Amino acid sequence: METKKPGVLEELLKGVIKNLRATKLTQEEMAQVWQDAVGKRAAAHTKPVSIRRSALRINVDDSGWLYELTIQRKEILKKLEGKLKGKKLKDIRFRIGEIK
């Protein structure tokens, strides 16, 4: 029985899949990066939900925290810069939602 050498396409696909896994943040990693940027107190009232179109979406448990974090948006963006596995953030969008 002859063993086949991996084809060029197969090697290319393996590389693409490996890169996709390397650039995807787990929920735990995202939560830790978020907590490092905003602190434990604010992190307890928020939950990172997703990153879409260069915007980080964050659920917040009440309007007071939503207002406070909205004011601090630019500072938080600077703290998050370079910590999201190559993802470029242009904005953070806060909304009232579940944080469990």
What pLDDT, on a 0 to 100 scale, did the predictor assign at position 20?
46
Domain spanning 25-96: CATH 3.30.300.180: yes
Domain ranges in the chain are: 25-96
Q: Angle CA(81)–CA(63)–CA(28) in degrees, nearest 5?
A: 40
Among candidates 53, 52, 34, which has minimal Cα distance to 44? 34
What pLDDT, on a 0 to 100 scale, did the predictor assign at position 61?
96
Beta strands in the chain (DSSP E): 46-52, 55-60, 91-96
pLDDT value at 18 more than 70: no
Reported pTM: 0.73
Confidence of residue 76 (pLDDT cuts 50, 70, 90): very high
